[in-house]
Structure 1
Amino acid sequence: MSEVTIYHNPACGTSRNTLAIIRHAGIEPTVIDYLKAPPTRALLRKLLADAGLSVRDVLRSKEPVYAELKLADAHWTDDELVDFIGQHPILLNRPIVVTPLGTMLCRPNSEVVLEILPVPVVAPFTKEDGQQVIDTGKRRAP
């Protein structure tokens, strides 16, 4: 089993670029298409805690279901919001990457994943839009 996991949506450019950067670094991650296999309530809570994020930090406010359910209303509890993500996984912002160096929501820029990759400096990488990513070699402490 890989020491790197990505909660991935193949329809998302940021998610595709993040996955490509991980692979460019020589790592074959465990790829979880969270739309087909959403994280359990407990796992989602753990991912959020490990990344230092709130439930609202990972809600996709641009999704039609967000407006339909009126999730911007402040009265929803975190537990209720987690339940909505479980029922409508498209509400989960992506990608979320887990490595031995940490857990991170890799938005809005896919290259932030470099901060938690357990490898030395990664060679320059070109994203789908032609933007080049240069790794500084800075990593989180484990």
Structure 2
Amino acid sequence: MSMTIYHNPKCGTSRNTLEMIRKSGVEPQVIEYLKTPPSREELVDLIKRTGLPVRDILRQKGTPYDELGLGEDRWTDDQLIDFMMEHPILINRPIVVSEKGVRLCRPSEKVLDLLPKDIGSFTKEDGEVVSSGAPDA
């Protein structure tokens, strides 16, 4: 199974997601999107494939979101995408692409539905344990 992760190595959620993918036996294509941002066409396609509104892909924390006034309703989806192209840090992460779909994996356990196999339990960097298996009956 091939997978791609749009990754920021400075982000704990992104690191946890990457490790869960690797624990499933897959070595994904890792795109550090701050160094190699997607093209506008790729970004539009990714957003469409997540099924989320453009606004849900905008990252607020640690970005120029407030300075740019992006919380205001006056911006169209195209304008919001323009801002993400100009400031890739505004693209929320991690976005994972797999044969099973495309997800914004926040929280990181959202990646579990995309993995080729159950990874059992996984301990996140903050100590939280997540499980991909069915709950005990």
- Shared fold by TM > 0.5? yes
**Paired amino acid for 1:72:** G
Corresponding position of 2:110: 112
Corresponding position of 1:140: none
Per-residue deviation, 1:52: 0.2
Corresponding position of 2:64: 65
**Paired amino acid for 2:126:** D
Determine the C-alpha separation between the residues in 1 that align with 2:58 and 2:125. Answer: 25
Determine the C-alpha separation between the residues in 1 that align with 2:61 and 2:129. Answer: 27
1:56 has 2:20 as partner? no
Of the three residues 110, 114, 122, the one matched with 1:125 is 122
Determine the C-alpha separation between the residues in 1 that align with 2:118 and 2:72. Answer: 43
Per-residue deviation, 1:68: 1.2
Determine the C-alpha separation between the residues in 1 that align with 2:84 and 2:33. Answer: 11
**Paired amino acid for 2:113:** E
Corresponding position of 1:88: 87
Determine the C-alpha separation between the residues in 2 that align with 1:26 and 1:64. Answer: 33
1:17 has 2:16 as partner? yes
Q: Unaligned 5+ residue runs, structure 1?
A: 138-142
* Cα displacement string for residues 43-84 of structure 1 (whole angstroms, at most 9, x for unaligned residues): 111111111011100111223411111111111111111011
Aligned length: 134
Determine the C-alpha separation between the residues in 2 that align with 1:15 and 1:96. Answer: 9
Q: Percent identity?
A: 55
Mean Cα deviation higher: 57-66 or 33-42: 57-66
* Cα displacement string for residues 25-59 of structure 1 (whole angstroms, at most 9, x for unaligned residues): 11100000000111111111111111101110011
Determine the C-alpha separation between the residues in 2 that align with 1:95 and 1:69. Answer: 22
TM-score w.r.t. the length of structure 1 is 0.89
CA-based RMSD of the aligned residues comes to: 1.3
Mean Cα deviation higher: 98-107 or 61-70: 61-70
